[in-house]
Amino acid sequence: MKLRSRIQHIIQPRLMAPLLKKMEGWEASIKNRPGAQCGGENSPMRFDIMRASINLKDDHPPFPGFPRSLPHIIGSVTNIAKSVRELDKNPVNGKKRMDGAILDELCTFSKTVGADEIGFATVPQEWVFKQTAIQYDRAIVLVMEMDKERMNLAPNPDTAVMVHETYNALGQVSNRVADWLREHGYAAHAGHPLNGMALYPPMAQAAGLGWRGINGLVITPRFGPRVRLAAVFTEIENLPVYEGDEYAWVLDYCHLCRRCIHDCPPGAIYETPIYHDNGLVTTVDNTKCFPYFANYHGCSIYIKVCPFHHQSYESLKTTLNNNEG
């Protein structure tokens, strides 16, 4: 067995398995907290990429971008631990309402510490994964752009490292926003972008930050699908929830384009998405996707080939209108 392969097979059980066990323990502790919103019968099962990577039998890296992504993985795990540990610092009777001036301060602070976009949504139970929980059902949704030039290399180890850099950075942002809220008298639960205990894409769409495409990704006006998402869950009752659908045309463009479906190497993106009774949509066959993902640096091809990754919303909307005209 080659040296690199031997190292990989040592790293997986000796490093990743204990980390995952700790993370799963932290998640379980949230379910036991008073008032937590747990996933229910209509909730989806989370596809745990890190756990699946350990269980995969093929000779592959323990996680995409290894070993350069290892410091960022450790940073993400550290911030996941902080997000749970600091729930004990929440005010017992936190403020439930936020006036316009404080809301503006929150938005400014979030962008100052690294968020590119911010929005607000209410989280129904069916968006919380089975066997996980969030502490509160209001969400401050955070968006961070991924580096465009490194995304253009996909599938590539440097792309994978960049993705984990973004996970780590956005996880720090979510914790800093949660800390800011506590300092101002509000209770908060930082939701990390890695793994996550609830579905971020429908939150981002509900928050008016973009629209889900045919591949399940939220396609944003500024960055297309080249983003990572996180949330800070809170009990603030009067956050300005978005109620429009100005970006719904994105899905019409996707049905016209279908580039991600055609260019997906393992053919994992469904030609026709599966629509469930609970309103959720399945767009990717994980049994086809994940082996390729694990062996080819976290893939990211469906972001790389998306026209919204390369062109502006305005130009693609014009293309759609011309095709419909």
The pLDDT score that the predictor gives to residue 185 is: 98
Q: Which two tokens stand for residue 134?
A: 């969030």
The pLDDT score that the predictor gives to residue 201 is: 97
Number of Cα atoms under 13 Å in the Cβ half of residue 29: 15
Domain range for 245: 3-324
For the chain (length 325 residues), average pLDDT per consecutive 10?
52 69 88 95 90 71 82 92 96 96 98 98 96 96 98 97 98 98 98 95 97 97 98 97 95 96 98 91 94 93 98 96 83
The pLDDT score that the predictor gives to residue 1 is: 41
Q: How many domains does the chain have?
A: 1
Q: Which helix (H) or strand (E) holds 245?
A: none
The pLDDT score that the predictor gives to residue 7 is: 54
Instruction: Name every residue whose Cβ is closer than 8 Å to that of residue 212 and which is 6 or more positions away in sequence.
Output: 201, 202, 205, 218, 219, 250, 251, 281
For strands 269-275 and 281-284, give the pairing.
Answer: antiparallel
SS3 69: coil
C-alpha distance from residue 68 to each of 63, 146, 164, 183 (Å): 10, 17, 10, 35
* Number of other residues whose CB lies within 10 A of the CB of residue 2: 8
SS3 269: strand
